């Protein structure tokens, strides 16, 4: 019996590994290409694997465009929009979870429905608004647009976390003399920390990877890493090695952050599923 | 100071009228218990006093001042919840300190008061623990500690003992009564358990479907219930009701007799019955008796060694001085027949 189950285990592991490898192959291939010369990168797979390794692409990319500038833009935009959104979303989610009105459910659905709208449908009005208010190619502009884009999801996530908190405890705080501000600050927020932090992490990732608005509303000054990658696919032809190097440089930070916060993220996303 | 008055208070949730109209006067220092079956509006009434629910119409006065629209935080009332509602992310010390922190009382005074409260409630050794590390009784004590620490003008208790086991419930009941004697502060206590009401209250308010059925001291309600509902609700085991010819003898539609006001005999008596289940409590024995004059089984409280067993024939005699008479609307008739 034991032998069979061990064999089964080995088989399962093998299948899982193969599937994992299959799914992460594009990323692995990008990683490999980023260490090759431009000529080797377009060769056949065998040539790619056997050719010599080099850091040339990274240094060319860094020389041609200022990686650190784009990196700091990404950091500012994703953190800025996330914190701004949380500042708006925590009170909103509080209101919807604890003092729901007749229209609360409808408002929640309406907010979610805005996510179904194809962004390109509102690109022109938003572009014009940005132009008129001088927000084009500014970090402030991107913080505002990404806050608005992700707000519905943040409110929804926080709303579901807040729903799990017993109302009694908030009422106890009110009886103990807490005003609305103290109730949210000292009781609700600390109790919702797991939920809030996973919302925060997810939202940083979403904002970091957002490409449509960041590419369309920036030129150079405020361009984050997404725009930086895009700049390597040009009409003159694709430069695989440089494109790969740029991609690796763009995804590495968020991948590392995601790796470290994995536990928190999973806990947050399954919060309430298991009691 | 802790007098509370409700004047013509009504409450509806959307179209459902929960409290048609209620007037209550609670004097400073009284221990008042709201009792009634579940859904009778007793918790809603308490939450209205607390300010956690708005009134639909009417006036709530605390210390003779209109508090109808005052937020809970400004009413100087403390509440103990059924679920304890402790702050799970704070230690016991911080839980108890929370109301003081909200009132911006300085740190030294806070510590002094926490120590005193912890001593009174035997919590000194647990101050640094989190609520999750405490037993049910200890959690209840922390909830009470959090309520008494800021010396409110009244305490509100919302079924505080219903999550505890029977032994602990009796113990906490005593503790709360003792606390009331010690502090002398007004307490309003909501329960569905008439034993809690009888043992703790100075004044009991019996509610049914949002209407006050009777207000009075425990013994008043026990000796002189004003209708059938109160008579049946107060007292355990509950009062026996007889209708028909037996009631007509006393010139009433229904008569009620408490289990201890019936004497038993193997040979003679007013009523004839058959013994059903016999419950031995040690000091007393409860006999459940099927009787031809009563649709429900009658319960008789008898001496421990009465000798009757399942299936025996038994004669019952009612204690005439302790018969309660009700008219066909269930209202008590008090003049002598």
Is there a contact between B214 and B221 (Cβ–Cβ < 8 Å)? yes
pLDDT at A20: 93
Yes or no: domain B4-228 corresponds to CATH 3.40.50.300? yes
Pick the last residue of a domain from A14, A31, A58.
A58
Whether the per-residue pLDDT at B57 is higher than 90: the answer is yes
Residue B322 in tokens: 């302790």
Rounded to a whole number, what is the distance in Å from the CA of B74 to chain A's nearest CA?
A: 7
- What are the sequence ranges of the domains in chain B? 4-228, 237-333
Cα–Cα dist B28/B20, whole Å: 26
Do A10 and A111 share a structural domain?
Answer: no
Q: Are residues B88 and A191, on separate chains, in Cβ contact within 8 Å?
A: yes
Could you tell me what percent of chain B has a pLDDT over 70? 99
Q: Are residues B52 and A174, on separate chains, in Cβ contact within 8 Å?
A: yes
Q: What is the domain-level CATH number for residue A169?
A: 1.10.3720.10
Tell which wins on pLDDT, A266 or B201: B201
Cα–Cα dist A97/A162, whole Å: 6
pLDDT at A227: 85
Whether the per-residue pLDDT at B105 is higher than 50: the answer is yes
Is there a contact between B49 and B152 (Cβ–Cβ < 8 Å)? no
Cα–Cα dist B158/B145, whole Å: 15
Chain B within 8 Å of A173 (Cβ-Cβ)? yes
Q: Among A102, A177, A197, pick the best mutation site for testing chain B contact (most B Cβ within 10 A).
A: A177
Residue where the block lists tokens 């291939």: A29
Rounded to a whole number, what is the distance in Å from the CA of B278 to chain A's nearest CA?
A: 43
Domain span holding position A31: 2-58
pLDDT at A195: 85
The answer to whether residue A236 is domain-embedded is: no
For A164-167, the CB contacts below 8 A with 24+ separation are: A164/A195, A164/A271, A164/A272, A165/A97, A165/A191, A165/A192, A166/B83, A166/B85, A167/A98
Cα–Cα dist B230/B238, whole Å: 10
Residue whose C-alpha is closest to residue B254's, from B319, B329, B334: B329
pLDDT at A236: 59
Q: Among A100, A167, A172, pick the best mutation site for testing chain B contact (most B Cβ within 10 A).
A: A172
pLDDT at B62: 92
B4-228 and B237-333: identical CATH topology = no
φ, ψ of residue B302 to 5 degrees: the values are -125, 170
The answer to whether residue A107 is domain-embedded is: yes
Residue whose C-alpha is closest to residue B48's, from B9, B14, B82: B9
Which residues, in sequence order, are CB contacts of A9 under 8 Å at separation 6+? none
Give how far Cα B267 sits from Cα of B147, B291, B307, Å. 59, 16, 13
Residue whose C-alpha is closest to residue B158's, from B189, B112, B136: B189
Do A153 and A83 share a structural domain?
Answer: yes
Is there a contact between B315 and B268 (Cβ–Cβ < 8 Å)? yes
Q: Which residues of chain A, if any, have pLDDT below 70? A: 1-4, 234-237, 265-275
pLDDT at A234: 67
Q: Are residues B85 and A190, on separate chains, in Cβ contact within 8 Å?
A: no
pLDDT at A74: 92
Do A223 and A88 share a structural domain?
Answer: yes
Do A185 and A140 share a structural domain?
Answer: yes
Chain B within 8 Å of A166 (Cβ-Cβ)? yes
The answer to whether residue A257 is domain-embedded is: no
Cα–Cα dist B7/B62, whole Å: 11
Do A10 and A133 share a structural domain?
Answer: no
Q: Are residues A178 and B102, on separate chains, in Cβ contact within 8 Å?
A: yes
Which residues, in sequence order, are CB contacts of B249 under 8 Å at separation 6+? none
For B92-97, the CB contacts below 8 A with 24+ separation are: B92/B123, B92/B126, B92/B127, B92/B128, B92/B129, B92/B130, B92/B131, B92/B134, B92/B142, B92/B145, B93/B127, B93/B128, B95/B131, B95/B142, B95/B145, B95/B146, B96/B123, B96/B127, B96/B142, B96/B145, B96/B146, B96/B149, B97/B149
On average, the pLDDT of chain B sits at 90
Whether the per-residue pLDDT at B255 is higher than 50: the answer is yes
Residue A60 in tokens: 């060319």
Is there a contact between A219 and A139 (Cβ–Cβ < 8 Å)? no
Do A84 and A218 share a structural domain?
Answer: yes
**Once rounded to an integer, what is the mean pLDDT over residues B28-45?**
92
**Once rounded to an integer, what is the mean pLDDT over residues B131-151?**
89
Give how far Cα A128 sits from Cα of A10, A136, A213, B330, Å. 59, 9, 13, 78
DSSP assignment letter at B296: S
Do A156 and A127 share a structural domain?
Answer: yes
Do A192 and A131 share a structural domain?
Answer: yes
Pick the last residue of a domain from A31, A58, A85.
A58
Is there a contact between A73 and A139 (Cβ–Cβ < 8 Å)? yes
Do A172 and A215 share a structural domain?
Answer: yes
Residue B89 in tokens: 């992310």
Cα–Cα dist B253/B295, whole Å: 15
Q: Which residue of A has its CA nearest to B98?
A: A176
Whether the per-residue pLDDT at B149 is higher than 60: the answer is yes
Chain B within 8 Å of A190 (Cβ-Cβ)? yes
The answer to whether residue A116 is domain-embedded is: yes
Is there a contact between A60 and A242 (Cβ–Cβ < 8 Å)? yes
Q: pTM of the entire structure?
A: 0.77
Counting the structural domains of chain A, the total is: 2
Do A125 and A11 share a structural domain?
Answer: no
Pick the last residue of a domain from A58, A81, A99.
A58
Q: 3-state secondary structure string, chain A?
A: CHHHHHHHHHHHHHHHHHHHHHHHHHHHHHHHHCCCCHHHHCCCHHHHHHCCCCCHHHHHHHHHCCHHHHHHHHHHHHHHHHHHHHHHHHHHHHHHHHCCCCCHHHHHHHHHHHCCCCHHHHHHHHHHHHHHCCCCCCHHHHHHHHHHHHHHHHHHHHHHHHHCCCHHHHHHHHHCCCCHHHHHHHHHHHHCHHHHHHHHHHHHHHHHHCCHHHHHCCCCCCCCHHHHHHCCEECCEECHHHHHHHHHHHHHHHHHHHHHCHHHHHHHHCECCEC
Do A6 and A100 share a structural domain?
Answer: no
Q: Chains A, B: CB contacts under 8 A, how many?
A: 61
**CATH topology assigned to domain B237-333:** OB fold (Dihydrolipoamide Acetyltransferase, E2P) (2.40.50)
Residue B226 in tokens: 């004003």
Is there a contact between A224 and A211 (Cβ–Cβ < 8 Å)? no
The answer to whether residue A244 is domain-embedded is: no
pLDDT at B4: 93
Do A10 and A41 share a structural domain?
Answer: yes
**Once rounded to an integer, what is the mean pLDDT over residues B195-201?**
92
The answer to whether residue A177 is domain-embedded is: yes
């Amino acid at each position: 019996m034991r032998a069979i189950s061990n064999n089964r285990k080995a088989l399962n592991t093998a299948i899982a590994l193969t599937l994992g490898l299959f799914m992460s192959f594009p990323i692995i291939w990008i990683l490999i290409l980023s260490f090759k010369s431009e000529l080797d990168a377009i060769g056949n797979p065998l040539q790619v694997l056997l050719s010599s390794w080099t850091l040339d692409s990274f240094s060319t990319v860094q020389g041609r465009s200022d990686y650190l500038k784009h990196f700091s833009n990404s950091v500012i935009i994703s953190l800025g929009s996330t914190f701004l959104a949380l500042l708006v979303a925590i009170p909103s989610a509080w209101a919807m979870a604890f003092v729901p009105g007749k229209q609360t459910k409808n408002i929640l659905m309406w907010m979610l429905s805005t996510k179904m709208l194809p962004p390109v449908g509102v690109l022109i009005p938003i572009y014009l608004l940005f132009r008129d208010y001088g927000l084009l190619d500014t970090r402030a502009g991107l913080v505002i647009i990404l806050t608005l884009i992700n707000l519905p999801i943040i409110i929804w996530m926080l709303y579901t976390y807040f729903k799990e908190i017993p109302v009694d405890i908030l009422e106890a705080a009110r009886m103990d003399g807490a005003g609305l501000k103290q109730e949210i600050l000292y009781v609700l927020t600390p109790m919702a920390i797991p939920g809030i932090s996973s919302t925060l992490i997810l939202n940083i990732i979403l904002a970091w990877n957002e490409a449509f608005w960041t590419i369309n509303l920036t030129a150079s000054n405020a361009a984050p890493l997404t725009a930086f990658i895009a700049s390597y696919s040009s009409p003159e032809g694709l430069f695989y090695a440089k494109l790969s190097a740029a991609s690796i440089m763009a995804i590495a930070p968020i991948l590392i952050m995601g790796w470290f916060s994995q536990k928190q993220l999973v806990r947050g996303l399954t919060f309430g599923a298991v009691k | 100071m802790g007098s509370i008055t409700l004047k013509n208070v009504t409450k509806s949730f959307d179209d459902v009228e929960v409290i048609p109209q209620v007037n209550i006067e609670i004097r400073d220092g009284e221990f008042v218990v709201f009792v009634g079956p579940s859904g009778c509006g007793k918790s809603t009434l308490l939450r209205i006093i607390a300010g956690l629910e708005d009134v639909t119409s009417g006036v709530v006065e605390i210390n003779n001042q209109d508090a109808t629209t005052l937020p809970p935080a400004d009413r100087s009332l403390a509440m103990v919840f059924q679920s304890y509602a402790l702050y799970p992310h704070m230690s016991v010390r911080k839980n108890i300190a929370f109301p003081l922190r909200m009132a911006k009382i300085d740190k030294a005074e806070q510590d002094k008061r926490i120590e005193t409260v912890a001593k009174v409630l035997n919590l000194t050794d647990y101050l640094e623990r989190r609520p999750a590390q405490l037993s049910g009784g200890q959690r209840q004590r922390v909830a009470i500690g959090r309520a008494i620490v800021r010396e409110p003008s009244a305490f509100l208790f919302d079924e505080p003992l219903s999550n505890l086991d029977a032994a602990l419930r009796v113990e906490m009941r005593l503790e709360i009564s003792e606390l009331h004697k010690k502090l002398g502060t007004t307490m309003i206590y909501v329960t569905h358990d008439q034993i809690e009401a009888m043992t703790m209250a100075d004044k009991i308010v019996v509610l049914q479907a949002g209407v006050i059925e009777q207000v009075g001291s425990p013994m008043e309600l026990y000796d002189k219930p004003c209708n059938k509902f109160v008579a049946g609700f107060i007292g355990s085991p509950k009062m026996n009701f007889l209708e028909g010819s037996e009631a007509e003898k006393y010139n009433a539609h229904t008569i009620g007799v408490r289990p201890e006001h019936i004497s038993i005999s193997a040979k003679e008596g007013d009523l004839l019955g058959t013994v059903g289940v016999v419950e031995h409590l040690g000091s007393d024995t409860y006999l459940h008796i099927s009787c031809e004059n009563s649709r429900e089984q009658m319960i008789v409280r008898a001496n421990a060694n009465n000798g009757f067993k399942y299936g025996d024939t038994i004669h019952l005699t009612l204690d005439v001085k302790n018969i309660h008479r009700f008219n066909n609307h269930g209202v008590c008739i008090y003049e002598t027949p």
